């Protein structure tokens, strides 16, 4: 228990000890990602990307976002430690922007209802929900929707 917080009642003091222990544990998850997160821009996926998906992602980042993948953080939610969630990721990495590629189960766990290609604001972070990358590979209509409804607004 903190030295700055004095609680006279022993019963209440134990409740505060439990609260502080849970809060500390909750925020202690170290998220694993590739890139530097220099731009404070996170790309969330929920599977290992094949070569086609990786190439498509690189094209979207370079042509659409005018960024380099190395400046961002690419994070596979299914490769994180137990207890990982998008809310805690926002607290830990402090991204300004996130594009969620698929990850529907992770969004459901948060209780968020973000329509496809739309942007939501969570704790000062813009979150764009996109479909799985493979869906955009040969679908020009879907790419156009992603650009016009999501990415254009995110960078504008």
DSSP-derived pairing of the beta strands 73-76 and 41-45? parallel
> 64 and 6 share a domain?
no
Query: Can you give the pLDDT at residue 27?
Result: 53
> 35 and 109 share a domain?
yes
> 4 and 70 share a domain?
no
> 19 and 41 share a domain?
no
The model carries a pTM of 0.80
- Number of domains, the chain: 2
> 14 and 57 share a domain?
no
CATH code of the domain covering residue 150: 3.40.470.10
> 60 and 75 share a domain?
yes
- Does 57 have pLDDT greater than 60? yes
What is the rounded CA–CA span in Å between residue 68 and residue 71? 6
| Per-residue model confidence as pLDDT tens digits over 75-132 | 999 999 998 999 999 999 999 999 999 999 999 999 999 999 999 999 899 999 999 9
Question: Could you write out the DSSP letters of every residue in 73-123?
Answer: EEEEGGGSPTT--HHHHHHHH--SEEEEES-HHHHHHHT----TT-EEEET
Q: Is the dihedral of CA 90, 122, 50, 37 positive or negative?
A: negative
Query: Can you give the pLDDT at residue 33?
Result: 95
> 35 and 21 share a domain?
no
> 86 and 124 share a domain?
yes
> 93 and 23 share a domain?
no
Range of the domain at 111: 31-155
What is the rounded CA–CA span in Å between residue 45 and residue 51? 14
């Amino acid at each position: 228990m903190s030295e700055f917080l004095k609680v006279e009642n022993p019963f209440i003091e134990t409740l505060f000890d439990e609260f502080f222990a849970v809060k500390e544990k909750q925020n202690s998850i170290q998220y694993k990602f590739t890139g530097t997160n220099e731009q404070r821009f996170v790309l969330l996926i929920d599977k290992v990307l094949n070569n086609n998906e990786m190439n498509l992602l690189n094209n979207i980042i370079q042509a659409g976002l005018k960024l380099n993948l190395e400046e961002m953080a690419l994070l596979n939610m299914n490769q994180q430690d137990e207890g990982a969630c998008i809310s805690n990721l926002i607290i830990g990495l402090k991204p300004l922007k996130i594009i969620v590629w698929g990850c529907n189960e992770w969004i459901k766990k948060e209780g968020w209802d973000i329509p496809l290609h739309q942007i939501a604001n969570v704790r000062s972070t813009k979150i764009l929900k996109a479909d799985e990358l493979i869906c955009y590979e040969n679908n020009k209509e879907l790419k156009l929707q992603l650009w016009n409804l999501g990415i254009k607004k995110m960078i504008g």
